[in-house]
């Protein structure tokens, strides 16, 4: 079996992100040169200053700090949702250049099994269907005849949304706040919610002045989902306080 498991790695981020954010914010209001500001900022408590920016709603300076993540074990269904967040950069593993043919140590292509399917007792049935699709894919590659990308690019049309993908994501801090506000919400689809929550856990370690209170909108205020609310306000708040 080739069941995929979510894995998120923080590959890189702006060094000293609070200094970068503070520099961008102070430049807006100071007659000092950039060099003079840099010297001043290095002596300040930038964590407190960044917290104040958030309170004031002055968020554009946050765009100068970025985080880059490596993600494995998500489905194509999840990546289709992910790339709707357009203020970001993505590099995704290609099904055109990377073959999904079965191998001795890789009987079936990697895929994601939704928890509801496991809970329904259909896990074995689902795996059998993935194995069938693998056979169809292998058959198509043979029929199409060409080696490499030519056969892969058309054989991939038969692969399901469950197929695992790998992706590199770069987002600035302001966009991450928005991403977490909608994708950590209980109303978000389970897979992208798990991804967003893990990304938040990693960013919070690096930039707590920004991300310590981040998460779905209900973490800092009332639920914004109206009649569609999950109804678990205190439970969700506790989860993100203890993340």
- Which uninterrupted H or E stretch holds 34? helix 34-41
Closest CA to 90 of 6, 165, 160: 165
How many CB atoms sit inside 10 A of residue 58's CB? 13
Confirm if 104 and 81 have CB atoms less than 8 A apart: no
What integer pLDDT is reported at residue 148 of this predicted model?
59
What domains lie within the chain, and their CATH numbers?
Answer: 7-91+165-241 (3.30.1360.170), 99-162 (no CATH)
- Which uninterrupted H or E stretch holds 230? none
156 in catalytic set: no
What integer pLDDT is reported at residue 166 of this predicted model?
98
pTM given for the model: 0.92
Closest CA to 133 of 97, 107, 165, 158: 158
- pLDDT (tens, 9 = 90+) of the chain, 243 residues, equals 578 899 999 999 999 999 999 999 988 888 878 888 888 887 778 999 999 999 999 999 999 999 999 999 999 999 999 999 999 999 999 999 999 998 766 789 999 999 999 999 999 999 999 999 999 999 999 998 866 567 899 999 999 999 999 999 999 999 999 999 999 999 999 999 999 999 999 999 999 999 999 999 999 899 999 999 999 999 999 999 999
- Catalytic residue (choose from 96, 101, 174, 183): 183
Instruction: List, edge to edge, every strand of the sheet that includes 88-92.
Output: 7-13, 66-75, 164-172, 88-92
According to DSSP, residue 227 is labeled G
């Amino acid at each position: 079996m080739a069941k995929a498991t979510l894995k998120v790695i923080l590959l890189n981020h702006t060094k000293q992100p609070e200094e970068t954010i503070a520099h961008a914010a102070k430049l807006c209001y100071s007659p000092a040169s950039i060099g003079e500001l840099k010297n001043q900022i290095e002596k300040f408590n930038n964590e407190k200053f960044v917290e104040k920016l958030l309170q004031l709603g002055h968020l554009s300076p946050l765009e100068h700090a970025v985080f880059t993540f490596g993600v494995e074990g998500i489905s194509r269904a999840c990546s289709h949702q992910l790339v709707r967040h357009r203020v970001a950069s993505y590099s995704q593993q290609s099904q055109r250049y990377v073959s999904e043919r079965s191998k001795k140590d890789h009987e079936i292509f990697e895929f994601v099994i939704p928890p509801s399917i496991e809970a329904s007792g259909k896990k074995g049935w689902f795996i059998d269907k993935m194995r069938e699709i693998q056979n169809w894919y292998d058959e198509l590659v043979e029929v199409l005849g060409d080696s490499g990308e030519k056969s892969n690019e058309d054989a991939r049309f038969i692969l399901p949304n469950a197929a695992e993908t790998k992706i590199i994501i770069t987002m600035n801090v302001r966009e991450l706040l928005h991403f977490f506000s909608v994708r950590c919400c209980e109303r978000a689809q389970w897979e992208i919610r798990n991804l967003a929550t893990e990304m938040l856990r990693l960013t919070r370690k690096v930039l707590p002045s920004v991300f310590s209170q981040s998460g779905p909108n209900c973490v800092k205020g009332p639920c914004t989902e109206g009649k569609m609310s999950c109804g678990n306000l205190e439970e969700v708040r506790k989860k993100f306080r203890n993340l």
